[in-house]
Amino acid sequence: MAGKKRKRAEDKERYELIGIRVDDYHVKAEASINFYLAEPNLAEYLEDDPAYLFESSIEITGTALLPENRSGDIYEIKLIGETSPSRRLAATVKDCQLRDGSGVPRYRSYRGREIAVYRQPPDFGLLEKARGERKWRGWANVAPRLLTDMLVTLSHQKQAYVSLHERRIERRRKIHGIALQTAYPAEE
């Protein structure tokens, strides 16, 4: 197979910072009975989730300023503040430690010391491009207290920006980090 090149790890996984000017936003707060209770085949997987759901969300619409190849693209990002165990937002560093086939935590030697081996936790949101348009849609599960802080930021009479940290693995794009701020993202 002389003609084939092996893909390097950095070709498969890339990170990019996207700076977005906030143009508009919508807020929603709701309370309901957990809708999975009406679907018995789904409810068994979420037994630790609450029977009552209290959820808040912010949907932010904005225009990309950075990087240059995405400048002018429209972003619609929905942030959902809900803390059910199935959202996996309470994961700890210890939960990210790799384990062997028997469930024993893995370690490696580094300069004569045993160091724990960790895997990266799953990203907390997805990002998708609308076909044939310069439009992106995304969503992320976040802690409700973050939504509260974001609402305070949006209530100021100052221009707000989103710094979106995208993690791209081959063709899939995930939200690796997100910040709402009043400073232009390139000036950080």
pLDDT value for 188: 67
Q: What is the DSSP letter of 94?
A: G
pLDDT of residue 4: 55
Q: Are 31 and 53 in contact (CB under 8 A)?
A: yes
Decide which of 112 and 2 is more confident: 112
At residue 45 the predicted structure's pLDDT band, cuts being 50, 70 and 90, is low
Find all residues with CB under 8 Å of 134, minimum gap 6, and list them: 72, 73, 74
Encoding tokens for residue 104? 């024993």
Residue 76 near residue 111, CB atoms below 8 Å: no
For 86, list phi and psi in degrees, rounded to 5. -65, -15
Which option is the CATH number for 12-29+56-84+124-187: 3.30.2010, 3.30.70, 2.60.40, 2.40.50? 2.40.50
Spell out the domain ranges in the chain: 12-29+56-84+124-187, 90-121
According to the model, what pLDDT value does residue 12 have?
Answer: 80
